[in-house]
Amino acid sequence: MPKIVDHEEYRRTIVEKATPVFSAHGFNGLGMRQIAQELGMSKSALYHYFPSKDELFAACTEFVVERDGALVEADMTAATTREKTAVLMEVFGEIEKGFQGEAFLLLDYMRGKSHREVARDKNMKLANKRYLEMIAAIVGKADAAKVLTFMLGALMQRLLDGRRTRLSDIELWLRETLEAHETLRTKRESI
């Protein structure tokens, strides 16, 4: 009797296994043959589920942003600044676990692309949209881009300085930033 395979479930399994392969090897120097080898499957089987490296990479991008997006389960815009900061730091810690590989992968993926090409790239659009939505669920839409920019900068700084920038300092700076934005918003609303 032939083996029954859930096509979508197997695609998800491939994506989960391929994601760290991209993080470890980059995008440009990696071919479907090497990916298949790393996954322990034939190249033809990989092509059956993903007709191109670009399609597999897009599925991996979606997997990562969905996984990270699941870190925020509810709308927290009414929470206190301390509660928001605590959740943002949890998100920061989870993202930081794989950030080095993802940062190098991102730079490799964007290599040779103009800023216009990056802005139009469907994977970049998806990642930006989903991360902004995740942060907006915590701090509100008005401050989401500012907070995301701060967090990405802090992640990069800790990568560049070997994590010498302390998490407690990042947490303090983040809380101070949120408090300053809240004070400004309150002043504007009272005018």
Are residues 47 and 131 located together in one domain of the fold?
A: no
Grade residue 73 by pLDDT with cuts at 50, 70 and 90.
Answer: confident
With b meaning 16 or more CB within 10 Å and e meaning fewer, what string describes 19-37?
A: bebbbebbbeebebeebbe
Residue-averaged pLDDT of the chain: 92
Place of tokens 């391929």: 18
Residues 10 and 30 placed together within one structural domain of the fold = yes
Residue 46 is part of which domain span? 1-70
**Cα dist. 168→92, 144, 154, 189 in Å?**
12, 21, 12, 31
pLDDT tens digits along 93-140:
999 999 999 999 999 999 999 999 999 999 999 999 999 999 999 999
| pLDDT computed for residue 1 by the predictor | 53
Burial class of residue 11 in the structure, from the number of CB atoms within 10 Å of its CB (0-12 exposed, 13-18 middle, 19+ buried): middle
Number of domains in the chain: 2
Residue 55: CATH number of its domain: 1.10.357.10
Give the pLDDT band of residue 25 (cuts 50, 70, 90): very high
pLDDT cut 90: percent of the chain above it: 80
Q: Is the pLDDT of residue 147 over 70?
A: yes
pLDDT value for 2: 58
Buried-state track 65-85, b at ≥16 Cβ within 10 A, e below 16: beebeebbeeebeeeebeebb
Q: How many CB atoms lie within 10 A of CB 144?
A: 18
User: Within this chain, do residues 41 and 97 fall inside the same structural domain, yes or no?
Assistant: no
**Same domain, residue pair 82 and 145:** yes
Q: Are 28 and 118 in a shared domain?
A: no
Residue predicted with more confidence, 77 or 142: 142
